Amino acid sequence: MSELFIGLMSGTSADSVDTVLLSISEEKIQSLGTYNHPIPDKVKNSIYELVNSKNLDKNRINKLDTLLGETFSEAVNKLLIQERLSSQDVEAIGSHGQTIKHSPNVPLPFSLQIGNAQLIANLTGIKTISDFRSDDISAGGQGAPITPIFNEYAFSSNSKRVIINIGGITNITLLKNKTQTTGYDTGPGNCLMDSWARENGVGNYDEGGNWANTGTINPSLLKLMLEEDYFNKPSPKSTGPDFFNLEWVKNTIDESGEKLTPEDLQSTLLELTVKSLTKELRGLGIVKSDGLYFCGGGAHNKNLMKRIKKDLGFKIYTTADIGVDPDYLEATSFAWFAAQRVKGRTFDLSKITGSNREVFLGVITEPTI
């Protein structure tokens, strides 16, 4: 018997909340509806400020936690109206939350996603699953990425496939078969380009990579950026915009002594995303006959995708070609994770995050009113 689940995802660009309604049974999943909910500018600005802040201000985090809980709830309720459903029709919500900090390698590792789950449950009347990373981190894992587990379920086949999600950070899933799945963050995706576009008044992001296309790559700076230790670390590994941010960029520029125009830096940042990804793909032995399927906001950056294709020298696809809308893959993942958490299922992420035991993905929050 199939049941209905809702998935919510707000990425590092914080431009909107991706909301998806799934029918999930033991045999299959089916997308029944999607809705893209805007995030108010004042909330976006608060997200950017907290992500870039060195100190975690509890009062500011609590305030934003509430605002995001309200925003996520609005997204769910709008989707219910759109699909002519009531809260009683839906088994659970899977809410990834907004990532503020991801620090799995500090002495006291943590990963902070906010968007008050109790508020979501109360305002929608639906059981809410959130906090997907903490159990993995407590088991010695990186806490991310976890979408390779869903990718294994949804996309495994007899041939080798690579699922590449270019959000704020780029992560890859290598699917050989259902016992050899690996996945990790390769480095920055859109986060540096988005931040630089905002700082220069271009917009929340560089649409289509058009601004980057007016600049020229600086080879010396690119070479120095690619010498960052993270790119040479073995997996499991994960990162976030609290590491790859404009402070990191400006420190690297200072070290290089280079003088760049804003558009030249944007072009160089785009190429950093390209080269850090294609280097990993070559290291994994990816060849022309393997399937490369892209998803996430980066899939819409025509200049970025053109450069990746040129660098690799073979055809690339999106996850739409294998059955999942690339704009809603992560939201779909968290609806599916919610279904697994309701069943009490645990997962072995040792080859992905490095955790040392099977872990629960998500914490269950029931409505209290």
**Cβ neighbours of 105 (radius 10 Å):** 12
pLDDT at residue 96, rounded to an integer:
97
CB under 8 Å to 34, separation ≥6 — which residues? 18, 19, 20, 21, 325, 327, 328, 331
Provide the H-helix boundaries in 284-352.
302-312, 329-342
Tell me the CATH number at 191: 3.30.420.40
pLDDT classification of 141: cutoffs 50, 70, 90? very high
Could you tell me if 165 and 299 lie in one domain? yes
Could you tell me if 313 and 338 lie in one domain? no
- As for how many domains the chain has, the answer is 2
Could you tell me if 180 and 33 lie in one domain? no
pLDDT classification of 178: cutoffs 50, 70, 90? low
The answer to whether the bond into 236 is cis (omega within 30° of 0) is yes
**Among 142, 155, 151, which residue's Cα sits nearest to residue 235?**
142
pLDDT at residue 1, rounded to an integer:
78
pLDDT at residue 85, rounded to an integer:
98
Could you tell me if 71 and 92 lie in one domain? yes
Could you tell me if 293 and 339 lie in one domain? no
Query: Which residue segment(s) compose the domain that 202 sits in?
Result: 147-322
* Mean pLDDT across 90-95: 98
Residue pLDDT, tens place only, 340-356? 999 999 999 999 999 99
Residue pLDDT, tens place only, 185-230? 999 999 999 999 999 999 989 999 999 999 999 999 999 999 999 9
For residue 182, list its beta bridge partners: 174
Q: In what order do the strands lie in the sheet with 29-38?
A: 29-38, 16-24, 3-9, 90-95, 128-130, 363-365
**Cβ neighbours of 252 (radius 10 Å):** 17
Residue pLDDT, tens place only, 298-347? 999 999 999 999 999 999 999 999 999 999 999 999 999 999 999 999 99
DSSP codes of every residue in 106-142: SSS-EEEEES-HHHHHHHHTS-EEE--SHHHHHTT--
Q: Is the per-residue pLDDT at 357 higher than 90?
A: yes
Could you tell me if 10 and 98 lie in one domain? yes
Could you tell me if 226 and 358 lie in one domain? no
The answer to whether the bond into 326 is cis (omega within 30° of 0) is no
Could you tell me if 120 and 7 lie in one domain? yes
Both structure tokens of 6: 């809702």
Q: Is the per-residue pLDDT at 180 higher than 80?
A: no
Could you tell me if 269 and 125 lie in one domain? no
Q: Are 268 and 221 in contact (CB under 8 A)?
A: yes
Comparison of pLDDT for 105 and 269, the residue scoring more = 269
DSSP codes of every residue in 44-90: HHHHHHHHH-SS--HHHHHHHHHHHHHHHHHHHHHHHHHTT--GGGE
* Mean pLDDT across 102-124: 95
pLDDT classification of 26: cutoffs 50, 70, 90? confident
Both structure tokens of 3: 């049941």
Residue finishing a domain among 307, 322, 337 = 322
Could you tell me if 184 and 305 lie in one domain? yes
Residue pLDDT, tens place only, 142-159? 999 999 999 999 998 888
- Give the C-alpha separation, 215 to 303, whole Å: 12
pLDDT at residue 248, rounded to an integer:
97
Could you tell me if 278 and 332 lie in one domain? no
pLDDT at residue 56, rounded to an integer:
86
Exposed, middle or buried, 112 (CB in 10 Å: 0-12/13-18/19+)? buried
Q: Is the per-residue pLDDT at 13 higher than 80?
A: no
Q: Is the per-residue pLDDT at 171 higher than 70?
A: yes
Q: Are 307 and 274 in contact (CB under 8 A)?
A: yes
pLDDT at residue 157, rounded to an integer:
85
- Give the C-alpha separation, 19 to 6, whole Å: 7
The per-residue pLDDT of the chain, averaged, comes to 95
Q: What percent of the chain has pLDDT over 90?
A: 88
pLDDT at residue 287, rounded to an integer:
85
- Residue 187, H or E segment: strand 182-188
Q: Would strands 291-295 and 161-166 be described as parallel, antiparallel, or unpaired? A: parallel
Q: Is the per-residue pLDDT at 126 higher than 70?
A: yes
Could you tell me if 161 and 298 lie in one domain? yes
What's the whole-model pTM score? 0.95
